[in-house]
């Protein structure tokens, strides 16, 4: 039995970019297969892939709502809803789940909203959440996040604090049989991609580079095939359903039959309204981010550069 056939709850939470309670909810609702070794719950990679495939089919069905984790089911972040009053941190990275868990240990009832960077900033503008996260590249300035924060939160003073640096690139099949090396290759007739949803940081990075090259996304095979996580697009490429996808290096290390072509070092930041910096919840969050204990949580996890964690990158 390989390591990929003995995944823990923590492994699956990491792969799906949800909290552990979200995984346990899937188990209770029979949403994902598993097996037991004594009292311990374990998963195979096939269990995870089957869940992603079934979720993808439901997401593409017009009458079906996309699956959500248990700890976000009560969070309605639609534009017509007012803020819930809770301390909600939005974003899809494992580091945010751990941050929220530690906040709860410190008495802050932090909630999680699993939405992409663009929608996260829009939700912060409408006061539906407390903390947004973003990794949105702007081709005009070659900068991350600041131009988008200014555009999506006009007239609002915001503080942008670094969480981590990550590497974005191409997921390709093992051995890179199509010889994909640059953004230009996406315009080839023999290339099929699988895409992230609109507003995701990886989707914005793709679209910005296509714009620079004068390529129209609608002319690229697979451009309209959207999937809501890095793991889902990586798995699709590994299965041969697509030739290439854009995502982070960290996930590429966790999927078999996959190679990763690095393209861009990206900055992943959290965004808060400056007027809220003195709130106890925000102060506690920043103290945790800047602590050695939190940094040490990720020393053994590849794919994170924490050299600037907790540092204020911009104030708008």
The pairing of beta strand 143-144 with beta strand 137-138: antiparallel
CATH architecture of 3-60: Orthogonal Bundle (1.10)
Positions in the chain whose pLDDT score sits under 70: 1-5, 17, 28-30, 53-85, 300
| Spans of all domains in the chain | 3-60
How crowded is the C-beta side of 128, counted as CA atoms within 13 Å? 20
Number of helices followed by number of strands (H, E) in the chain: 11, 13
Local structure of residue 29 (DSSP, 8 states): T
pLDDT single digits (tens) 17-51: 677 777 777 776 667 887 777 777 888 877 887 77
pLDDT for 5: 59
pLDDT for 298: 79
Structural element, H or E, at residue 151: helix 146-152
pLDDT for 228: 79
pLDDT single digits (tens) 176-194: 999 999 999 999 999 999 9
Task: Quote the CA–CA distance of 97 and 92 in Å, as a whole number.
Answer: 8
pLDDT for 158: 97
Quick one: residue 127, left, alpha or beta (phi over 0 = left, psi -120 to 50 = alpha)?
left
User: Which pTM value belongs to this model?
Assistant: 0.73
């Amino acid at each position: 039995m390989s390591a990929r056939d003995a995944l823990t709850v923590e492994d699956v939470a990491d792969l799906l970019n949800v909290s552990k309670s979200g995984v346990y909810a899937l188990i209770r609702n029979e949403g994902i297969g598993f097996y037991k070794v004594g009292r311990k719950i374990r998963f195979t990679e096939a269990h995870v892939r089957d869940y992603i495939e079934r979720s993808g089919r439901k997401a593409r069905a017009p009458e079906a709502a996309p699956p959500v984790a248990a700890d976000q089911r009560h969070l309605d972040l639609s534009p017509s809803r007012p803020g819930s009053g809770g301390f909600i941190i939005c974003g899809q990275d494992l580091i945010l789940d751990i941050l929220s868990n530690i906040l709860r240990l410190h008495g802050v009832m932090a909630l999680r909203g699993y939405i992409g960077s663009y929608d996260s900033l829009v939700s912060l503008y409408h006061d539906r959440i407390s903390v947004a996260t973003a990794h949105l590249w702007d081709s005009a300035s070659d900068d991350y996040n600041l131009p988008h924060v200014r555009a999506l939160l006009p007239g609002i003073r915001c503080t942008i604090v670094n969480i981590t640096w990550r590497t974005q690139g191409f997921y390709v099949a093992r051995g890179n049989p199509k010889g994909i090396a640059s953004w230009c290759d996406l315009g080839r007739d023999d290339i099929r991609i699988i895409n992230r949803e609109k507003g995701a940081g990886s989707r914005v990075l793709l679209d910005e580079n296509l714009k620079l090259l004068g390529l129209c996304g609608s002319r690229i095979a697979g451009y309209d095939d959207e999937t809501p996580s890095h793991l889902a697009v990586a798995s699709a490429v590994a299965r041969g359903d697509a030739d290439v996808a854009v995502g982070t290096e960290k996930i590429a290390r966790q999927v078999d039959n996959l190679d990763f072509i690095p393209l861009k070092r990206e900055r992943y930041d959290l965004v808060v309204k400056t007027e809220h910096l003195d709130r106890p919840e925000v102060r506690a969050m920043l103290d945790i981010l800047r602590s050695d204990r939190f940094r040490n949580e990720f020393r053994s996890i590849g794919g994170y550069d924490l050299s600037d964690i907790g540092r204020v990158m911009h104030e708008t």
